[in-house]
Amino acid sequence: MLNHFIRGFFALVCAAIATTATTAAAAPSFSLKDVEQQAQKLAEQPYREPSGDLPKEIQALTYDHYRDIRYKSEKALWRDAKLPFEVMFFHQGSYFNYPVRISEIRPNGVNDVHFSPDLFDYGANAAPRKTDGLGFAGFRIHYPINTPKYKDEVAVFLGASYFRAIGKDQHYGLSARGLAVDTALASGEEFPRFVRFWLVRPTAKAKELTVYALLDSRRVTGAYQFVIKPGVETVTEVKARVFLRKNVSKLAVAPLTSMYFFGTGQRPGYEDYRTQVHDSDGLSIQSGTGEWIWRPLQNPSRLLVTSFALNNPQGFGLMQRYRKFDDYQDLEARYENRPSAWVEPIKPWGAGRVELVQIPTPDETNDNIVAYWVADNGGSPLKPFDIEYRIRWQKDSETRPPLSWVTQTRRGRAYVNEPDNSIGFIVDFDGPALRALKPDTVVEGIVTTDENGEIVERVVQRNNVAGGYRLSLKVKRKDEKKPVELRAFLRGNRQTLSETWSHILVP
């Protein structure tokens, strides 16, 4: 099993992923256009399967041994120049077999950053005697966000097209990817890989860092620009152009990958001292019509794929709304400090769907949640596909609906004299719209279900303890072998007062 550090990249073990040796011409005015030219040229050529051959010493490393290889901090890129950003690099090995080529863009040209064993402390491991073909697996970016006296690790690019970031007082949790192809399809998922990076040398007072990347896989190539803006809320702005060698069934944009093991709405199958274990607890969507949707995450017994058809959505994200230590009671994982990731288009996305994939997991070591956007018109081999959006890595000031939102979902069976096979839900809402209501305001729970469900009971109560309002539901399922779709929101004074709670009751 993989631990937290690489959980976001576990799928690499199952995927055949690609590399390239494309070279950029040294030019002071290097830009995304230069990467686009390389990506287009690459797309016009047959795909070449990469070689993952590593020296025997590196191949023999266990994961724990691999973790003992550390980049020497005193050799960080730009440390000698005392620039606000620094970059350190990851060694190949373990699940990261393929090298990525990394260059620095300076005012006078583009220069490769060369691999050398001297850059690493191998710990108890022996340094490789042969370094032919060895390179960097990825890199991490450092910038002071918690104190000006220390450069924190704020972003990582490592494995396939995975990257992650954190803001002030956050711990790494969920990840993002440059692109996902055919996720959750029976044909199998294809994992595009960033095969080359260009790091733009920052100025002495820079507050953001620009990174270019070249993506490649069997059916797609792409040119990417990342602008990383660290802070209380770290922002990653993404601009890309994707080229298709061949048609794909599902081109997933802005994919987020997270973990949900159990929580208030779903207990584990054994005793655990912790009340919740997850990096994210729900999918939030802001539609183009102004509706906000909240779907609590689940750890299903079998693969569960659901979607929300939308036109020009304003954003979506995998969010961590429980923010107290008591919500988790885990001194090591500190799940209350894991970031939420909110994706918002910079240019309109048009028609398509936000898709949520939930995969069964027996424990917390695997990422089992994926969310992404699929456009109705997702490109073709004859026409490149443009992408532009930003990701906000949030904790204390998360993106939420302006009226009110779901604070918790609990599931169980209340006491009844006679068992009636119903399922009970407690959904708590809170927010400024609810707090502003007069005590005598009548608040309704507007609940709908599909044809397989029957609402037996619905009750709305003011929550005089925690604030806000509580919606209590009892639901019966007509066919136990089929799912039930539930939707609910609060209404009062003839106005919508909350986001829409959207839940699927699996068979």
- Please report, for residues 446, 447, 483, the alpha-carbon distance to residue 454 in angstroms, rounded to integers and kept in the order given: 14, 10, 12
Average pLDDT on 133-159 reads 96
Average pLDDT over residues 29-55: 91
The C-alpha atoms of residue 278 and residue 255 are separated, in whole angstroms, by: 18
Instruction: Give the confidence band of 17 by pLDDT, cuts at 50, 70, 90.
Output: very low
What is the distance of C-alpha 484 from the center of its chain?
27
* Largest distance between two CA atoms of the chain: 81
According to the model, what pLDDT value does residue 8 have?
45
List pLDDT tens digits, range 47-92.
998 877 788 888 888 888 898 999 999 999 999 999 999 999 999 9
Q: 205: which residues sit within 8 A by CB, 6+ positions away?
A: 84
Element containing residue 39 per DSSP (H, E): helix 32-43
The whole-angstrom separation of Cα 484 and Cα 475 is 9
Q: In degrees rounded to 5, what are phi and psi of residue 248?
A: -120, 155
Residue carrying the six token digits 């860092």: 209
Per-residue pLDDT tens over the stretch 434-476: 999 999 999 999 999 999 999 999 999 999 999 999 999 999 9
Region 219-231: mean pLDDT is 98
In this predicted model, what pLDDT tens digit does every residue of 107-127 receive, in sequence order?
A: 989 999 999 999 999 998 888
User: Are 177 and 160 contacting, i.e. CB atoms less than 8 angstroms apart?
Assistant: yes
In sequence order, the β-bridge partners of residue 353 are 309, 374
| CA distances to 245, 267, 312, 367 from 331, in Å | 48, 20, 41, 20
Instruction: Using alpha carbons, select from 99, 70, 73 the residue that is nearest to residue 86.
Output: 73
Cα 94 to chain centroid, rounded: 22
Tell which phi-psi region holds residue 290, choosing left (phi > 0), alpha (psi between -120 and 50) or beta.
left
Question: For residues 294 and 300, what is the distance between their CA atoms, to the nearest angstrom?
Answer: 18
Q: How far apart are CA 223 and CA 484, in angstroms?
A: 42
Mean pLDDT value of segment 395-409: 95
Q: Residue 136: which region, alpha, beta or left (left: phi > 0; alpha: psi -120 to 50)?
A: beta
**Does 26 have pLDDT greater than 60?**
no
Among 368, 223, 406, 376, which residue's Cα sits nearest to residue 313? 376
